[in-house]
Amino acid sequence: MTYQAPITEIGFALDAIAELPAIAQLPGYEEATADLVAAVLEEAGKLAGEVLAPLNHPGDREGSVFENGVVRTPDGFQAAYRQFVDGGWNALPFDPDYGGQGLPWSLATAVQELWQAANLSFGLCPLLTAGAVELLQAHGSEAQKDSYLPKMISGEWTGTMNLTEPQAGSDVGAVKTRAKRNGDHYLITGQKIYITWGEHDCADNIVHMVLARLPDAPEGTKGISLFLVPKFVVNEDGSLGPHNDLRCVSIEHKLGIKASPTAVMSYGDSGGAVGYLVGEENQGMACMFTMMNNARLAVGIQGVAIAERAYQQARAYAFERVQGRSLDGSPEPAAIIRHPDVRRMLATMKARTEAARALAYWTAAALDRTKAEPDDAARAQAQARLDLLIPITKAWCTDIGCEVASIGVQVHGGMGFIEETGAAQHFRDARILPIYEGTNGIQALDLLSRKLLRDDGAAMTLLIHELRSGLPEAPELRAPLAAAIEALDDATAWLLEEGGKALPWGAAGATPFQSLCGSVLGGWLLARSAAQAAKGEDKAFAAAKLKTARFYADNLLGEVAGLAEAVTRGAESTLAFEDDDF
């Protein structure tokens, strides 16, 4: 159940796919030299492998516990979090004016993968803090930034996102939590659910970013405002004042990520929690959108991470577990890695994981370019690419996380079903990923309506063009990839035509379309990885990359035909069902 940071793989993906060396040429990112990147990955790998990973399984068994209004994280989490903060890890991608290191998001994304692979429950704490920091960086007042950002960027204080209420999940516009103007602040009243790390014992203060509604706000998403609501009110001198009028009511009993406390939060039981408006009144949703790309990328990375973790564990087991004889006829019992079906499972895990990593890092590179490209047009182009890739990355990488974790259980046979083995934990932990931060169905609708139809297919057409011009030369990769891109092009054309005219039709095929995009991109990025690796000096590494790309093209990419059919032909039969037919 150990985890070893795959530094070589990650370094390669950063270079070959994210093109980090080119990003490090952009203004503001000059510090991301090859040496620094190597040092960061090395040190982060140690913390992930030696400190966070060993806490993963015990953390699952113990879980976070809620007693008498207090949340106790599992044994070792407090100390690990202290070490994480002391190492300066929380500050990696943030504004240097407030103590951040201003490093590229692609590097921060790679480091993020290490935390999440080592310990998904632990990793959620800084993941949520990052979202809150971004919101404040983008929309906070100068005073708010001065008061909160340094402690949040260092990680001494953590952050949360308070969106969901019992009646307001995917439909954020249904939020009922109220905010009342009260001098220089607001009083917040209401209940929020599913608040990740909403209450815990690892930091001095918790800064809640809360969506609420003013008394005179318009209905729906246009009447939602964003408030900063600290657990302890912060005094003018920066010291901590009284406990705010908010409390954790309970934490959820969940399928997985049990060490991560998922809180029900109550605000204003005694008249109203002190909250500070972030941005403008009624502009809360717009504020949320600024952090959404980033948060969704981070969840996509969690999918990559859990896949990597599950793969490492299954690989170790396959080489160690002796059972049956090899088909080559040797009389001696053999490790199960000798069985072709086990090799197929491991190759699937490896190919899917590397494809998902490539996609996520490619997306992270686009994020960096939206921030640092000096040229307006280049920045806009990067933004369009990023917006297009985000739902695909979030959904596909998290689906892959679940798929790979499930194969990991299967490789273990009966042992996989026993909790002590640890494979089952990855399977349970991974299952949240296609749900939170916008279900994968919501991502698909976002992809269809905001990313494909809104610009009449411009960004997608550009992407398909790039895929076509970047086809690999090796014929065994080129032919299946060309066919797959053709299928993507056909499905896209159909959606722009039929699915645009009749939105339910497009929506019925949105999820298969999203999977189709992911599958094609994954295969294409693996071929690109193989081509880039061929330029390097490590011939064994290059050969493995080529084998992985071929395996994907031969064994997995064939799924695109069915997915494209589901888009273009599936809507009619889906929508033919009447309610009574179910």
What is the maximal distance between C-alpha atoms in the chain? Answer: 83
Q: How far apart are the C-alpha atoms of 38 and 42, rounded to whole Å?
A: 6
Q: What's the closest the beta carbon of residue 285 comes to its own copies, in angstroms?
A: 14
Confirm or reject binding of residue 461 to its own copies (CB under 8 A). Answer: no
Site for its own copies in 409-428 (CB under 8 A): 409-410, 413-414, 416-420, 424, 427-428
How many residues at the interface with its own copies, by CB under 8 A? 101
Neighbours of 456 (CB within 10 A): 11
Among 10, 301, 360, 557, binds its own copies (CB under 8 A): 557
Partners of residue 189 on adjacent β-strands: 178
- Give, to the nearest 10 degrees, the angle between helix 284-320 and helix 423-430: 160
Q: Where are the beta strands (DSSP E) in 1-83?
A: 65-67, 70-72
Among 2, 170, 182, 235, binds its own copies (CB under 8 A): 170
Q: What's the closest the beta carbon of residue 413 comes to its own copies, in angstroms?
A: 6
Partners of residue 158 on adjacent β-strands: 206
Among 162, 164, 293, 353, binds its own copies (CB under 8 A): 164
Pick the closer one to its own copies by CB: 181 or 344: 344
Site for its own copies in 315-354 (CB under 8 A): 315, 318-319, 322-325, 327-328, 333, 337, 339-347, 350
Site for its own copies in 42-81 (CB under 8 A): none
Site for its own copies in 173-202 (CB under 8 A): 174, 193-194
Confirm or reject binding of residue 289 to its own copies (CB under 8 A). Answer: no
Is 30 marked active-site? no
Q: Count of alpha carbons within 13 Å of 30, Cβ hemisphere only?
A: 2
* Helix or strand (DSSP H, E) at 479: helix 475-494
Whether 301 and 360 have beta carbons less than 8 Å apart is answered as: yes
β-pairing verdict for 273-278 and 185-196: antiparallel
Site for its own copies in 462-521 (CB under 8 A): 503-505, 507-512
Q: Which of 50, 354, 437, 476 is catalytic?
A: 437
**Of 42-50, 197-205, 313-321, 370-378, which part binds its own copies (CB under 8 A)?**
313-321
**In sequence order, which residues have a C-beta less than 8 Å from that of residue 499 and are 6 or more positions away?**
448, 453, 505, 506, 507, 509, 567, 571
Among 171, 201, 466, 538, binds its own copies (CB under 8 A): 171
Residue 8, classified by CB atoms within 10 Å of its CB into exposed (0-12), middle (13-18) or buried (19+), is: exposed
Partners of residue 293 on adjacent β-strands: none
Whether 116 and 360 have beta carbons less than 8 Å apart is answered as: no
Q: How far apart are the C-alpha atoms of 484 and 517, rounded to whole Å?
A: 10
Among 388, 432, 464, 485, binds its own copies (CB under 8 A): 432
Q: What's the closest the beta carbon of residue 353 comes to its own copies, in angstroms?
A: 11
The owner of tokens 């596909």 is 396
**Of 8-16, 48-56, 79-87, 560-568, which part binds its own copies (CB under 8 A)?**
560-568
Pick the closer one to its own copies by CB: 154 or 353: 353
Pick the closer one to its own copies by CB: 180 or 254: 254
Catalytically annotated residues: 437
